[in-house]
Every structure is written in C-alpha cells, then in structure tokens.
Amino acid sequence: GTLVYLEDGSTSLLNVLKLIFLLFFVQAPEFPEFTAKVQEAISSLGGSVFPKLNWSAPRDAYWIAMNSSLKCKALSDIFLLFKSSDFITRDLTQPFIHCTDDSPDPSLDYELVLRKWCELIPGAEFRCFVKENKLIGISQRDYTQYYDHISKQHEEICRSIQEFFKKHIQYKFLDEDFVFDVYRDSRGRTWLIDFNPFGEVTDSLLFTWEELTSGKNLKGDHGEGEATEQDYPVFRCTNSKVTVQPSPYLSYRLPKDFVDLSTGEDVHKLIDFLKLVRSNENNF
C-alpha cells in the first residue's frame, strides 16, 4: 500500500488527491491467461491444492489465510500465502544461499508447483537425510509434539522407511547428498512427499547440520563402532511430553523488529530500544 503523510500547508490537498487517485483509479495488475491455467489445474486436482515454488512452501504464512491452512482453491489464495511468506521471499531473492556454483551468475526458472490437497496427520511425517547415497538419519517432522505411537513403533518406522529408500530412491536420484520427506499412512505404507537440498537451507529438525555433515553422533542404533551399510540410520523423535515446544512458525506472525528484539539478533535495534526505554523513564 501507499502511506501518505498529511502535512500543514498547500501540500495537504495534493496528498489527499494523490491518495484518492491511488485508491480508486490505480488497479492491481491482472493475469487472465495465467489465472485461467492455474484455475484449470486446481480443478483437475480436485478443487483444492497445496502450493509451493521450486523448493519452499509458504508454511510460515498459514496463519494469514481465512482457514488458517495452506489449502488453496483459487489463485488469490496462493498469492496471499506467497506474499506473506518469508520462505517464498527467500526463494525469490536468495535462491542460492549456502550454495556454491561454478557459474558467477546462475540463472533460475521459477515454477509454481500445485499438489492435490490431502489431509495428512502431522505425526506420520518424517524427514530423511541422505549422504553419499546412504540414509544416515530420520527425524520426526513435527518435532514440537509428542506422539506416543512414534516412540513405541520407532524401530518398525525406521525399518520401513529404510526399505522404501533402498527400493525406490537409492542410486536413482541425481545427487548423492539430499533430503527427502515421507508419510506413513494408517496401513503402514510409505509415501514420498518431497525432496530438499542437503544443507543449511533445509531444516535439520532434531539433528544439527554439523552432525549430518561430519557424521559425528550418527552411529547406527543397532551396533557399535563405525556405521556400515547394514546399520540402521539414526532415528530421532520427541520422546517426552516435557520436551513439547511451541510451533517454530509462530514468530512469523510478529513484525520482524519484535522478533529481532526478543532473540537479540539485531544488536542495533536492541540498543535503540534500550535508549528509548531510558528516555521514557527520564521523562517521568
């Protein structure tokens, strides 16, 4: 939007006229052909879709939607989520962050990815880390919550995911280092959800990237010594209700200045805030 400051003097009327012109005569750009194609795709996928760009989905912006969900039925729903998402902004402005490339100015064609909407149980999603074509770690996707069935069935879950990886993914992906997400349904079947880059741009969840890249603390659960091809990957989940945490996406609802102040990430903002508090105290 446009913020117009009303000042004393002859410029006030001019500013008001500018504001009226912007509100009533300047229309947002329209893309009728693109809109029609997207709506046709949404209809072919059952009327509701899950949107994402090449890498990221706007998971951090679910709160702004009327249904507090990433479920989209029209292009306007997708635009709202994308415009409100820091994840999407990062993809558009810093797509190669934490990456190295031989080309000094690599090009990128963005793609809008639409998937048929399915109601998934968060406690059945898992993130898997692959290094040198070996599955080295599996993490509970929704690590902020405790799920009793995961703690009780972790060996079975780990085994089924490893079998799925060996049968459908291992040595078939273009890269030997990558991350993939899977979903296990009520029948114990494993479904591939997505692929992600192996690096800091991807959330490591219950692991750290230092562990994943160095191999430290990633010895198999079923043996001693160095991990071998027969070893199971390390499986991590939230094992106690005591360790339950708030959603990591909650901070995205707040202005960035508030988040920086609360975390101390921006020293200059913290100094300015303390000066303001001190100034207010001196005035009383």
pLDDT digits (tens, 9 = 90+) for 116-156: 999 999 999 999 999 999 999 999 999 999 999 999 999 99
| Averaged pLDDT for residues 26-54 | 90
CA angle 120, 187, 141 (to 5 degrees): 40
Backbone φ and ψ for 162, nearest 5 degrees, come out as: -65, -40
Residue 185 has pLDDT above 80, yes or no: yes
How far is 126 from 141, CA to CA, in rounded Å? 5
pLDDT at residue 55 in the model: 85
Of the candidates 214, 180, 215, the one whose C-alpha atom is nearest the C-alpha of residue 197 is 180
3-class secondary structure, 118: coil
Residue 235 has pLDDT above 50, yes or no: yes
Which class for 224: exposed (0-12), middle (13-18), buried (19 or more C-beta within 10 A)? exposed
The per-residue pLDDT for range 240-284, each reduced to its tens digit, is: 876 556 555 554 455 555 455 455 555 565 565 566 556 656 655
**Banded model confidence at residue 217, pLDDT cuts 50, 70, 90:** confident
Share of the chain above pLDDT 90, in %: 53
pLDDT greater at residue 221 or residue 58:
58
With a CB cutoff of 8 Å and minimum separation 6, the contacts of 13 are: none
The per-residue pLDDT for range 72-120, each reduced to its tens digit, is: 999 999 999 999 999 999 888 888 777 776 666 677 889 999 999 999 9
Residue bearing tokens 């499986």: 235
**Banded model confidence at residue 65, pLDDT cuts 50, 70, 90:** confident
pLDDT at residue 179 in the model: 97
Of the candidates 144, 138, 125, the one whose C-alpha atom is nearest the C-alpha of residue 57 is 125
Q: Write the CATH number of the domain with boundaries 122-243.
A: 3.30.470
pLDDT greater at residue 65 or residue 185:
185
The per-residue pLDDT for range 194-204, each reduced to its tens digit, is: 999 999 989 99
| Averaged pLDDT for residues 209-217 | 89
| Averaged pLDDT for residues 58-82 | 91
- In the chain, CATH 3.30.470 sits at 122-243
Of the listed ranges 67-76, 230-239, 256-265, the least confidently predicted one is 256-265
Q: Among positive and negative, which fits the CA dihedral 34, 38, 43, 45? A: positive
Of the candidates 197, 249, 203, the one whose C-alpha atom is nearest the C-alpha of residue 85 is 249
pLDDT at residue 29 in the model: 73
User: What is the CA 67 to chain-centroid distance, rounded?
Assistant: 19
| Average pLDDT across the chain, whole number | 81
